[in-house]
């Protein structure tokens, strides 16, 4: 038997002002995107903003449906749009925010497992690490890349084995 350890490093901030102007803008765009959420069932408004290598910022919000599996998370809405509009442009970073009960959550929310896999595939596709910012009013997390969020990930090479 061999024992391995997978460690995730998270930088924790208390204010958006601790970031440079481009990352402040990205986080603000994620917060703004929560307002276009279609979430009449959960009332849990999630927004994502993606910064591409070309400087473009793409926003997305969660879109619910009464047939729950038919909805889509904010991260995938934004990423699929970015990948379809700019298929050859790597993603530098993504910011995610959640608005619920009339305010932003105090703690950051992480992407779900499906979103992590989609984000990881984009990171792998462009061979470029994607920085992650998770916004909360009292905490903001920064993670170096998606692999930090999904250390035992399924990758396309496994399909060939």
**Residue 91: φ, ψ to 5°:** -95, 130
39 near 62, Cβ under 8 Å?
yes
DSSP H/E element including 123: helix 113-126
**Residue 93: φ, ψ to 5°:** -160, 165
**Residues labelled catalytic:** 75
Q: How far is 136 from 127, CA to CA, in rounded Å?
A: 29
């Amino acid at each position: 038997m061999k024992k391995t350890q997978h460690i995730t490093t998270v930088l924790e901030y208390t204010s958006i002002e601790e970031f440079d102007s481009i990352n402040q803008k990205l986080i603000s765009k994620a917060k703004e995107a929560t307002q276009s959420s279609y979430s009449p069932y959960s009332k849990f408004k999630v927004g994502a903003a993606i910064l591409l290598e070309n400087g473009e910022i793409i926003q997305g919000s969660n879109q619910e449906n009464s047939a729950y599996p038919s909805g889509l998370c904010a991260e995938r809405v934004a990423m699929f749009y970015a990948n379809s509009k700019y298929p050859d442009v790597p993603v530098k970073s993504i910011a995610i925010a959640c608005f619920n009960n009339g305010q932003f959550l105090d703690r950051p929310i992480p992407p779900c497992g499906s979103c992590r896999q989609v984000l990881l595939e984009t990171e792998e596709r462009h061979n470029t690490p994607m920085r992650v910012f998770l916004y909360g009013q009292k905490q903001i997390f920064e993670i170096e890349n998606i692999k930090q969020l999904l250390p035992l990930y399924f990758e396309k090479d496994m399909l060939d084995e």
